[in-house]
Copies of this chain bind each other. A is one copy, B any other.
């Protein structure tokens, strides 16, 4: 298991709820409205005429999709999340350049186009970059994909970041250890970049997610 196999949201699973997830969520709403208290898994199972284990599975899905929140192993610890991620609501993000190829250009005038992204993902100043090269192939980032990046000067250990090294932009995973910083590609064919404390490293932003334009869009 490569640690680099960490998944980013947005590329694999399609957004939105499946019909039965929607039904479940609706059942939860109704139950709370009628009884003033959240249902148990079993109660939902009875309502929907399916088994508890199935409900449990769907609750897991709803949880990971951010529609509900709950505390493991606690009876009725189920809460509908305020902001049901406005799945369909999308906002445009400017595509401002490419990475692994050269210096991105920030000026809005120079935009190369736009890409629609779910509004709930976008926080702060964001932009999109087209990917060049396969240096992050193990993180499922490929040539031609678009990275949605939030501009921020700091990042955490393990984040995939867009960094500026000697005026060249690059996408790498950030590793911070005691004595140095490393920018590691997610492709064994590419070299790890080591950065000494005194070297200049400018982090442009953090990669929030990846988009792949498919014919349907």
Contacts and interface: CB of A to CB of B under 8 A. Distances in A.
A75 to B, nearest CB: 4
A121 B38 CA distance: 30
Nearest to A37: B37
Interface string A19-52: 0000000000000000011101000000000000
A79 B36 contact: yes
A194 interface: no
A32 to B, nearest CB: 9
Chain A interface residue bracket vs B: under 10
Contacts of A7: none
Question: How many copies of this chain are found per oligomer?
Answer: 2
B75 A40 contact: yes
Given A75-B75, A75-B76, 8 more contacts: A36-B79, A37-B37, A37-B38, A37-B76, A37-B77, A37-B79, A40-B75, A76-B76
Interface of A: 36-38, 40, 75-77, 79
Contacts of A75: 40, 75-76
Nearest to A74: B40
A79 B34 CA distance: 13
A40 B36 CA distance: 15
Nearest to A78: B37
Of all A-B residue pairs in the complex, the 8 with the closest CB atoms, nearest first, are: A75-B75, A76-B76, A37-B37, A75-B76, A37-B38, A37-B76, A40-B75, A36-B79
Contacts of A79: 36-37
10 contacts: A36-B79, A37-B37, A37-B38, A37-B76, A37-B77, A37-B79, A40-B75, A75-B75, A75-B76, A76-B76
Contacts of A76: 37, 75-76
